[in-house]
Structure 1
């Protein structure tokens, strides 16, 4: 949820662009890593957890876009998986 998200450091190195109307993707301006995406009108943000330096100490609620997973990705079989976006949710 957006209310629980904040940048701890490095915000000055962020770059962003609007990839589609209302959707913003945020990148590191130094290395180009895609860090997060958001739609300002929605209550959640999408964080690319593989870019975190430390364990966020929380479990995912679901896995989305599993159709793009790599074969070696380990995942928790007890968490719902969706081939694309979660059914019933907009892009």
Structure 2
């Protein structure tokens, strides 16, 4: 699905900038241990986007990737460390965008919590969104 104008986003220091043609897919709050470590928080806020709809417009040379598990790559700004997206070798057509990297205005809401079986013990989920012990059904 395409928008009239692309969504824009980037890293904290502004070195990496991107545009996204069309809205992201369903936003989920991922509570897995890797996302907690990568974000430095209780969860990551992510959504799938077609790789063909994502384009770097600045800072491609500053984008770094880390293989956090076999075939899964997390991309971030090499200057400020801001996470941008992740991708899997098995699904090169899809990125999982870090929603916090989008510029305002953006008002799409999360649809579920995932990997709650491994959530941080110090975090309490107190909203009414569906909670899944692993990945969301259908993924």
Q: TM class, shorter-chain normalised?
A: 0.5 to 0.7
Tell me if 1:51 matches 2:101: yes
Q: Which structure dedicates a bigger proportion of its chain to strand? A: 2
The match for 2:35 is none
TM-score by length of 2: 0.46
CA RMSD in angstroms, aligned pairs only:
3.1
What residue ranges of structure 2 are gaps of 5+ in the alignment?
1-49
TM-score by length of 1: 0.64
C-alpha distance in structure 2 between counterparts of 1:60 and 1:7, whole Å: 24
Matches within 5 A, 1:17-56: 17-42=66-91, 43-55=93-105
What residue ranges of structure 1 are gaps of 5+ in the alignment?
none
Aligned length: 84
Highest RCO, 1 vs 2 (Cα 8 Å, sep ≥ 6): 2
C-alpha distance in structure 1 between counterparts of 2:57 and 2:112, whole Å: 25
